[in-house]
Amino acid sequence: MDISLKKYVNVADVLRAATTRIIGHSVPDCTYQSWRYLLAAMRLSDHQIDHFNDPSERSNFIANTTAFVTGSAEGVNTGSNTLDESLRNLRNCLQRFPEPTREQFALNAGVYARVIEGYKQTTSLSEYMFYRRLEGQVASRFLSMLLPEEIPTDKRRECTRWFQTVTRVANLIDSAIDLPKDFASGETRVTPSLRNRARLLGAEFWDSTYILGRVNTGILIGLMRLAKDTTEDNSRKYA
């Protein structure tokens, strides 16, 4: 889990490079660090959520951790010291944002919880793809909320569009790779046939063309390295 977490958190490096290219100047260190804390908290939370069989347990977990990081609850105890530390780091970052932003963060977390239940319960591949893409889009809103307030509206929209596209593609690729494992562990009801996995990979084609048209070589190499790491991590899980 430690190696996988480190690679996931390093997605912030690609986000920083892409955002710098879009806005025309470097991203503040506090924004970069906030993304790292957010990514760590999301990765560790997803890992814990997958161990809950009861939908109400998943919903309560998301509600309780969200209340803590947004400041409406004083303490947190997830049973994981690493996750608790990540949530405390994220909470400290969110304190520098105005209350409306923290409220929007909480609302987005509620949507995130409903999307998770959507893809865990459906048996339809089409619905599964819809929810997984939507999950990536909802996750990208968290990233956008952490952007500096002084970024012009047009540049903020462009960053948000890029975040949305990348997270949708990443979720579909991850789904195609993980589908056999997720089906075997009861995390999804969609059959992991070769046809279904091929459709998942094919569904990200148009989003991928958008990304390729808006990145430089360094960012592209970073994205390819992340995709390679994901494949290798999951290959070890199946071994």
Q: Which fold has domain 2-16+26-234?
A: Farnesyl Diphosphate Synthase (1.10.600)
Indicate the Cα dihedral angle 165, 177, 224, 6, nearest 10°: 90
Token pair of 62 as six digits: 């998301």
Say if residue 213's pLDDT is above 80. Answer: no
Q: Residue 57 and residue 11: Cα distance in Å, rounded?
A: 29
The 10 Å CB-count burial string (b at 16+, else e) for 123-137 is eebeebbbbbbbbbb
Place 237 in a pLDDT band, splitting at 50, 70 and 90. very low
* Mean pLDDT within 69-80: 92
pLDDT digits (tens, 9 = 90+) for 76-107: 999 999 999 999 999 999 999 999 999 999 99
User: How many CB atoms lie under 10 A from the CB of residue 68?
Assistant: 20
Nearest residue to 172 via CA among 230, 216, 105: 230
Distances from the Cα of 216 to the Cα of 73, 121, 123, angstroms: 42, 39, 39
Question: Which positions ≥6 away from 8 have C-beta within 8 Å?
Answer: 39, 40, 43
pLDDT digits (tens, 9 = 90+) for 16-54: 988 998 999 999 999 999 999 999 999 999 989 988 989
At residue 99, the pLDDT reads 93
pLDDT digits (tens, 9 = 90+) for 148-191: 989 999 999 999 988 988 888 888 888 888 999 999 998 999 99
pLDDT digits (tens, 9 = 90+) for 112-122: 999 999 999 99
Q: Are 156 and 213 in contact (CB under 8 A)?
A: no
Q: Residue 152 and residue 8: Cα distance in Å, rounded?
A: 28
